[in-house]
Amino acid sequence: MKSKEFRVVVLISGNGSNLQAIIDQVKAQQLPVVISAVLSNKADAYGIQRAKAANIDTITINNQEFTSRDAFDAAMQQEIDKYQPDLIVLAGFMRILSDDFVNHYLGRMINIHPSLLPDYRGLNVHQRVLNDSKTVHGVSVHYVTPELDHGPVFLQSQVPVKPNDDADTLAKRVQQEEHKIYPLAIKWIAEKRLDYNHGNLLLDGKPLHSPQFLHKVMTESDRQSGSH
């Protein structure tokens, strides 16, 4: 294990398209990290095949074989820490994490959530956005803290909601942005541009009071006010 490597462990439960985006950026030498391992709580997660195809170590720990969340999380922690990771990347990991696990990786664990946090925490986000007739939606990357989907957000990207969208078309549009912003978020951390600093985020040494945006959607009111 080379000491100057920035080591990442990715946690998944399913398809792993975000994992793939990260793998592709590493392969293209656009993301200066080593993906040390991919951990899934489901043996049949397609993301495990993606990791194997990229010669990345895989770990499967079936949460159903544990009697408590704490025991499952402790087993994960033991496996993850063998890799001495600098960063834990949650990429569609569909388990709520115990406080002990989160606190062990505090400031070293990030998540991607398919909404413009703090709006639409939790599940079924795209349908809820459609139900509310929103015209702008998006995705957020945030540090993980014990309260679900509440940790400090540092990078977001917006997408338009189109009149004929259903939850699937909207999810696809959001995912295209996910695949851009998640590798970028990891890059900022690996390059030490972003610092957690006890929850007070610093970007390039300056306090980050609100998230950065990769893309913004111009709304009707932006147009009317002439802003760009």
> Residue count at the site for ligand GRF (CB under 6 A)?
14
Q: Give the strand pairing for 34-40 and 212-213.
A: unpaired
17 versus 25: smaller Cβ distance to ligand GRF: 17
Residue 140 as a binder of ligand GRF (CB under 6 A): the answer is: no
Binding segment (CB under 6 A) for ligand GRF, from list 7-15, 65-73, 102-110, 155-163 = 7-15
Among 6, 9, 10, 16, binds ligand GRF (CB under 6 A): 16
13-21, 34-42, 77-85, 183-191 -> range binding ligand GRF (CB under 6 A): 13-21
Report the nearest approach of ligand GRF to the CB of residue 172 (Å).
10
Q: What whole-number distance in Å separates Cα of residue 81 and Cα of residue 59? A: 12
Task: Rank residues 15 and 77 by Cβ distance to ligand GRF and give the closer one.
Answer: 15
* Catalytic residue numbers, as ranges: 113
Cβ proximity to ligand GRF, 144 vs 201, nearer residue: 144
114 binds ligand GRF (CB under 6 A): yes
Which of 42, 50, 113, 126 touches ligand GRF by CB under 6 A? 113
Q: Contacting ligand GRF (CB under 6 A), which of 149, 165, 177, 178?
A: 178
Which is nearest to 5 in space by CA: 218, 190, 201, 132? 190
Alpha-carbon distance 134 to 127, whole Å? 11
151 binds ligand GRF (CB under 6 A): no
CA distance 89 to 105: 11
Which of positions 19-78 make contact with ligand GRF (CB under 6 A)? 47
Q: What is the C-alpha separation between 74 and 80, in angstroms, rounded? A: 10
What's the min distance (Å) between Cβ of 4 and ligand GRF? 28
Contacts to ligand GRF by CB under 6 A: 12, 14-18, 47, 91-92, 112-114, 175, 178
